[in-house]
Amino acid sequence: MITIGYSTRTTNPKFQEYLKQSCGLKNVEVIEKVNNGEKSLSQVYNEIIDASSNDILVLCHDDIYFDTKNWGRRLDSLFQRNLDYGIIGLAGTKYLPKSAKWWEVPETMYGIVNHKHEGKKWASNYSKPIDNLEDVVLVDGLFIAINKKKITNKFDELINGFHFYDVSFCVNNFLNKVKIGVTTSLRVTHLSIGMTNQSWEDNREYFSKKYDQSLPLDITNENLCETFIFCHDQKIIKEYEVSGKFKNLKKYNYVFLGNGNVDEIKYLHNLIIARNCDYNMEDSPNMNAYTGWYCLWKNGFIKTPYVNLFEYDVILNPFIEQKIDKLMREGHNFIGYVPVSCSNFHFIDNKLWVDELFESIKKVCNVNLERTIRVFLRQNPSLHWSSTSNCTLKSTFFHEYMKWFEPIAENIKFSKTAGHAHERSTTFFCFMFKIQQILTQNLLKHFQMNSHKTQDHVVDFDKNLKQLVENI
């Protein structure tokens, strides 16, 4: 049915018997290889592959025990239900950077592994539990299950010692279209903690050079989200394109707002000129970015499950898409940036920015939302809100929000501070319909260029633009 193989310094009949009993399957083949460093783990694992009698092979460390009863049955079921997968592990990542340090962006890691060391046990939760399998580009060598009929390459025997054998094996197969998945339906406890040393560094350098043209590997955000950037100045768009400001985004489009000149950018393939679209609100410039939202919504431009709606005056974390990928996959409706305490004066106490919005909500929805929010905040004084209209939304949520806000916006669209009302409206919508907001830190910096002159602060436009172009 399955073969289980491992490398060990001293023969261990008890561990062999434990593997047979714990997996819950009959006729299990266990291959033990005694190796005191004479051979690399890559060599030993290739010997086990060649010697194994079954198509399903588990390669594991010799210092683990299983927290899941009958784990072999579950593994067999996973392979039966996912016939196109060649490799299954317990921890892995969707992103492998140029450095080949696969934990460098921890938000892209998946799986759950228990550890026990010096009498203490804890769980490393790289993600929430996974129902079936989560696609990754590699899995950790603690536990690697393979379908020998599906893999294209064995382990690279130029990888010396006991490090990077797993990364190299997985990446080599991934590049040859082998599907790799992580499961949390099997749980193990590792009786040691991973550590790097010079051998690890030597193998990392070898691997990085060998796969330099293929790295980074990234399967985050695959057809999941696209970005729209709102701007009203072709000079800024030109400078951004020349500098490659948004080159780390997989798919982005500019939405040009207002009546400014576009002669020098109209050739761009990723440009939407709002005023040329069938439906637009370019006669209401005080609504700021909302006119871009309206254009996207009414003209059906949003085609992905999620959408990033960003203004031009932002600096994005270089890994923003990778970092929010997991949040999107978990199904959150609203991902906000630049959180500020709801006790801040400008949230609901700045009458110039919110009074007309509250009045319009009362008129359209017959709800005194200001009173409701104040009660809610007294009960939850530590609450924060997303203090900018820059956000990531589930497309279905975006549609529901826009249906709610469209008639409200009609009442305030000519107000000088309508843009500030729009910034708060997404949070108000979430409060009103009891929708949880996910607020993130340090993924987006908003410069607040005050283009519409609705705030009191003075902006050094040239200095700020230089920083925006250079992402500093």
154-190, pLDDT tens digit by residue? 999 999 998 999 999 999 999 999 999 999 999 999 9
Separation CA 98–CA 72 (nearest Å): 35
For the stretch 245-270, pLDDT in tens is 999 999 999 999 999 999 999 999 99
The CATH number of residue 370's host domain is 3.90.550
Separation CA 431–CA 307 (nearest Å): 21
Phi, psi angles (nearest 5°) of residue 355: -60, -45
Q: What's the mean pLDDT in 107-112?
A: 97
Last residue of a domain, one of 160, 189, 218: 218
CB-count burial class (<10 Å; 0-12, 13-18, 19+) for 304: middle
Q: What's the mean pLDDT in 300-306?
A: 97
Last residue of a domain, one of 186, 218, 250: 218
Domains held by the chain: number: 2
Separation CA 441–CA 409 (nearest Å): 29
For the stretch 314-352, pLDDT in tens is 999 999 999 999 999 999 999 999 999 999 999 999 999
The CATH number of residue 42's host domain is 3.90.550.10
Separation CA 28–CA 25 (nearest Å): 6
The reply to whether 189 and 72 lie within a common domain is yes
The reply to whether 180 and 247 lie within a common domain is no
Separation CA 297–CA 291 (nearest Å): 10
Contacts of 127 (CB under 8 A, 6+ apart): 109, 110, 111, 112, 134, 182, 184, 326
Please name every residue paired with 254 in a beta bridge, in sequence order, or none if there are none. Answer: 229, 271
> Is the confidence at residue 143, as pLDDT, over 90?
yes
Separation CA 210–CA 407 (nearest Å): 58
Q: What's the mean pLDDT in 6-15?
A: 95
The reply to whether 201 and 234 lie within a common domain is no
Strand, helix or coil at 371?
A: helix
The reply to whether 158 and 276 lie within a common domain is no
Separation CA 71–CA 148 (nearest Å): 19
Range of the structural domain that residue 271 is part of: 225-470
- What letter would DSSP give residue 108? G
CB atoms within 10 A of CB 434: 7
The reply to whether 124 and 184 lie within a common domain is yes
What pTM does this model have? 0.91
> Is the confidence at residue 1, as pLDDT, over 90?
no
Separation CA 403–CA 397 (nearest Å): 10
Q: What's the mean pLDDT in 402-413?
A: 97
The reply to whether 208 and 245 lie within a common domain is no
The reply to whether 237 and 169 lie within a common domain is no
Phi, psi angles (nearest 5°) of residue 182: -110, 140
Phi-psi region of 331 (alpha: psi -120 to 50; beta: other; left: phi over 0): left
Separation CA 57–CA 144 (nearest Å): 8
Kindly state the percentage of the chain with pLDDT values over 70: 97
Q: Which two tokens stand for residue 262?
A: 């576009």
- Please report the pLDDT score of residue 369 as a whole number: 95
> Is the confidence at residue 194, as pLDDT, over 80?
no
- Please report the pLDDT score of residue 457 as a whole number: 56
The reply to whether 321 and 273 lie within a common domain is yes
Separation CA 391–CA 438 (nearest Å): 10
Kindly state the percentage of the chain with pLDDT values over 90: 89
For the stretch 342-388, pLDDT in tens is 999 999 999 999 999 999 999 999 999 999 999 999 999 999 999 99
For the stretch 431-463, pLDDT in tens is 999 999 999 999 999 986 555 555 555 667 778
Q: How confident is the model at residue 465 (pLDDT cuts 50, 70, 90)?
A: confident
Last residue of a domain, one of 218, 238, 255: 218
| Residue 194 and residue 221 in contact, taking contact as beta carbons nearer than 8 Å | no
The reply to whether 266 and 188 lie within a common domain is no
The reply to whether 238 and 351 lie within a common domain is yes
The reply to whether 117 and 239 lie within a common domain is no
> Hey, what amino acid is at 38?
E
Q: How confident is the model at residue 63 (pLDDT cuts 50, 70, 90)?
A: very high
> Hey, what amino acid is at 193?
I
Please name every residue paired with 313 in a beta bridge, in sequence order, or none if there are none. Answer: none
- Please report the pLDDT score of residue 240 as a whole number: 97
The reply to whether 93 and 48 lie within a common domain is yes
Which residue has tokens 């000079």?
235
Strand, helix or coil at 168?
A: helix
Q: How confident is the model at residue 472 (pLDDT cuts 50, 70, 90)?
A: confident
Separation CA 278–CA 287 (nearest Å): 18
CA distances, 320 to each of 20, 186, 220, 237, 379 (Å):
44, 30, 11, 20, 33
Label each residue of 255-285 as H, E or C: EECCCCCCCCCCCCCCEEEHHHCCCCCCCCH
- What letter would DSSP give residue 171? H
- Please report the pLDDT score of residue 471 as a whole number: 85
What is the strand order of the sheet 437-439 is part of? 271-273, 252-256, 225-231, 306-311, 391-394, 334-336, 437-439
The 10 Å CB-count burial string (b at 16+, else e) for 177-199 is ebbbbbbbbbbbbbeeeeeeeee
Which residue has tokens 């060599």?
43
Strand, helix or coil at 239?
A: helix
> Hey, what amino acid is at 274?
A
- Please report the pLDDT score of residue 118 as a whole number: 83
Q: How many residues does the chain have?
A: 472
